[in-house]
Structure 1
């Protein structure tokens, strides 16, 4: 029975990989603000999806990671960053400001309709749309409506009304490359958008 157990490229049993090893995938990112998928961790650990999920779940339970459902079947994980009483912008390896701070600042200035709980739900819908785009760097309007809207309707009666409020706000977030006028593909530019220009 033990012969059926999965081994990684180093000949180790995948289920004996310490959960902390999955954190290597987070340390190896060029963009330290980008959440990771189970596929990213599978690649780093050279293991099955189930093993990656098990390690990620263990790290969430230990408080080393946080997770969020994206769309109908997607999920992302990230390393939590505690707010500091003294503002100290997080930086990536190039010294550029890390995306989470830039996103937070952009979210504070974006004007979404509603107040109170409604406004909070709409901000969550915007953040979910942004995270979906990070995970799917080339997405169509229909992808957002199919994968984000059902879980984050944000008190909009129709998907079209939801999109009419979300898409102008999404354009304002860092790294987002919206379609040209009547174009269809939304792109996420990734960490290049946060690299300072010299000269």
Structure 2
């Protein structure tokens, strides 16, 4: 795997993420970036379809406040995020679980195409999953640091074609969520 780094931006037009609650952010990203239907999103998040539509509509309007309390906001990307993503990529590319563990939060939220959202309580398990995600791209993959919806991401290409994206949420200097997009249908909007 080529771990040479280059920053790429995957356009998705979601500058509103920093002001959204976790539920709003999940609905917005699942709909806008991954093209899930409201029925699918409702099932994933244990909400009604009507609630998902309302949340999505509210998230698209600037200045609209959510009834949910704001527990934490996404920080703008900065050099610290780049450093964390670089360390994550270097460790995951080598399968270095000991190097990955300190980069990961105590609890990591993970979701891949077609899976339920999983909360991983064990850093070793989260490190194994992260290394497995990168290994899944194969040895011919070129992985670059990127940005999707204002979040740091790893963008994998095989023979120049987009093979997958791993979007990371970073909180308090550690990776707290890994959202992987591997399905060709879900990747199509990002191409």
Common fold: TM-score over 0.5: no
Larger % of strand: which?
Answer: 2
Length-normalised TM-score, structure 2:
0.27
Which structure: larger Rg?
1
- Normalising by structure 1, we get a TM-score of 0.27
**Higher relative contact order, chain-length normalized (CA < 8 Å, sep 6+):** 2
